[in-house]
Amino acid sequence: MLNVIYLVLIAPIKSVLLFVLEHAYNATSSYGLAIILLSIVFNLLLLPAYHLAEKIQKKERDIQRQMAPKVAEFKFAFKSQERYWMMRTLYRQNRYHPIYALRAVLPLAIQIPFFVATFGLLAHYQQLEGVEFIGITDLGRPDRLLFGVNLMPILMTLFNLIAVYLYSRKLDPREAIQSYVVAVVFLVLLYQSPAGLVLYWTVSNVISVIKSWIYTTDRQNTIKRIKECT
Give the model confidence (pLDDT) of 177-192 as tens digits: 878 888 899 899 999 9
The pLDDT value given to residue 220: 54
Grouping H, G, I as helix, E, B as strand and the rest as coil, residue 130 is: coil
Residue 129 neighbours by CB under 8 Å, 6+ apart: 138, 139, 140, 141
Q: How far apart are CA 33 and CA 25, in angstroms?
A: 7
The pLDDT value given to residue 77: 80
Note the pLDDT tens digit of each residue in 14-58. Answer: 999 999 999 999 999 999 999 999 999 999 988 887 777 777 777
The pLDDT value given to residue 30: 93
The pLDDT value given to residue 222: 47
Low-confidence ranges of the chain (pLDDT < 70): 1-2, 97-108, 170-172, 175, 218-230
Grouping H, G, I as helix, E, B as strand and the rest as coil, residue 230 is: coil
Q: How far apart are CA 209 and CA 156, in angstroms?
A: 11
Domains contained in the chain, number: 1
- Dihedral of alpha carbons 184, 187, 188, 190, sign: positive
Q: How far apart are CA 63 and CA 92, in angstroms?
A: 12
131: domain range?
2-229
The pLDDT value given to residue 15: 92
pTM: 0.78
Grouping H, G, I as helix, E, B as strand and the rest as coil, residue 133 is: strand
Helix-, strand-, coil-residue percentages of the chain, each rounded to 5: 80, 0, 15
